[in-house]
């Protein structure tokens, strides 16, 4: 009877943690309950899963999702995930290989609740900046293909920025900034300090055939001041509300920079 009661309690806890329509709602892992009611962050992932010219699979680089996801949710932040098409967000299969399996990736692979959220993302056209305190774009080559020209993503970034809310992107995620313009028609990133996956990293990773353009070159061509750290090492740049990270190793640092920016704004 005691064993049955314990199982019942576990099932009850899981049912309470996953509201109706769990994949399309906000699930919060709370270690710091003081944040849970006020801090909500939107993560925008790619829906692009294959480069047609070479037949290679792509998507979000899992470490760039998992590391910030846990850095945020472990602080009680509620994270909602959206993608252009909604539904299951593709993960770059290469990012699942042992060589790239960080502690956060391993944690995610054992976390059925987080997996459910990734399998049931909200369609990008159904989310609004007014419902969140910040937005975060993980990388992977997928975002370079379906986010730069996505009108909902473009408007969403501007809505966050104009509302004085942090806009954060890591690795190839800054590709989403390519066509974001201010009201005077200039690129949002013109004159701003940014970073992103470097040409030297793209060449070293032998992944130039996965990208439709050079991210570093695009950022520079848009008038941004591109800054670069050591290849494959954490490097984060903050310029006002705009927060960017260079590579997968920078993903957690970007999440910490978001939390710092929110604290400075008085969001707890």
pLDDT score recorded for residue 14: 35
CB 242 within 8 A of CB 226: no
Residues 6+ apart with CB under 8 A from 137: 43, 44, 143, 147, 168, 169, 170, 173, 174, 176
The CA R_g of the chain, rounded to the nearest whole Å, is 18
Residue 73 lies in a domain: yes
pLDDT score recorded for residue 265: 87
Q: Does the pTM of the predicted model rise above 0.75?
A: yes
Rounded Cα–Cα distance for residues 239 and 258 (Å): 12
Residue 8 lies in a domain: no
Q: What is the largest CA-CA distance in the chain?
A: 69
pLDDT score recorded for residue 266: 87
* 227 carries an active-site annotation: no
Q: Which of 63, 171, 202, 252 is catalytic?
A: 171
Burial of 266 (0-12, 13-18, 19+ CB in 10 A): exposed
Rounded Cα–Cα distance for residues 42 and 45 (Å): 10
Domain extent at residue 186? 22-264
Residue 1 lies in a domain: no
pLDDT score recorded for residue 102: 96
Q: Which of 26, 201, 202, 216 is catalytic?
A: 201
Residue 123 lies in a domain: yes
Residue 253 lies in a domain: yes
Using DSSP's 3-state secondary structure scheme, residue 44 falls into strand
* 171 carries an active-site annotation: yes
Residue 6 lies in a domain: no
Closest residue by Cα to residue 194 from 157, 237, 161 = 237
pLDDT score recorded for residue 20: 36
pLDDT per position in the chain (268 positions), as tens? 444 334 333 333 334 444 434 444 444 434 444 433 579 999 999 999 999 999 999 999 999 999 999 999 999 999 999 999 999 999 999 999 999 999 999 999 999 999 999 999 999 999 999 999 999 999 999 999 999 999 999 999 999 999 999 999 999 999 999 999 999 999 999 999 999 999 999 999 999 999 999 999 999 999 999 999 999 999 999 999 999 999 999 999 999 999 999 999 888 6
Closest residue by Cα to residue 195 from 164, 162, 173 = 173
Q: Which of 64, 172, 216, 252 is catalytic?
A: 172
* 26 carries an active-site annotation: no
Residue 7 lies in a domain: no
pLDDT score recorded for residue 37: 55
Residue 4 lies in a domain: no
Domain CATH for 109: 3.40.50.880
Total domain count for the chain?
1
């Amino acid at each position: 009877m005691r064993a049955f009661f314990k199982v019942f309690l576990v099932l009850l806890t899981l049912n309470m943690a996953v509201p109706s329509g769990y994949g399309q709602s906000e699930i919060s892992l709370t270690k710091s309950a003081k944040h849970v009611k006020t801090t909500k962050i939107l993560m925008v992932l790619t829906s692009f899963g294959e480069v047609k010219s070479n037949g290679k699979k792509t998507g979000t680089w899992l470490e760039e999702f998992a590391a910030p996801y846990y850095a945020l949710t472990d602080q009680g932040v509620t994270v909602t995930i959206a993608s252009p098409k909604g539904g299951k967000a593709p993960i770059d299969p290469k990012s699942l290989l042992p060589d790239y399996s960080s502690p956060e990736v391993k944690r995610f692979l054992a976390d059925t609740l987080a997996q459910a959220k990734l399998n049931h993302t909200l369609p990008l056209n159904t989310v609004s900046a007014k419902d969140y305190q910040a937005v975060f774009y993980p990388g992977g080559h997928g975002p370079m293909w379906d986010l730069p020209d996505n009108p909902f993503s473009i408007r969403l970034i501007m809505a966050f920025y104009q509302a004085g809310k942090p806009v954060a992107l890591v690795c190839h995620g800054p590709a989403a900034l390519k066509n974001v313009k201010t009201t005077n028609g200039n690129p949002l990133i013109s004159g701003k300090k940014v970073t992103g996956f470097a040409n030297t990293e793209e060449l070293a990773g032998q992944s130039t055939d996965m990208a439709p353009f050079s991210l570093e070159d695009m950022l520079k061509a848009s008038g941004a001041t591109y800054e670069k750290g050591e290849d494959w090492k954490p490097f984060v740049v903050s310029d006002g509300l705009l927060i960017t990270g260079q590579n997968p190793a920078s993903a957690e640092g970007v999440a910490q920079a978001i939390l710092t920016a929110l604290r400075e704004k008085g969001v707890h």
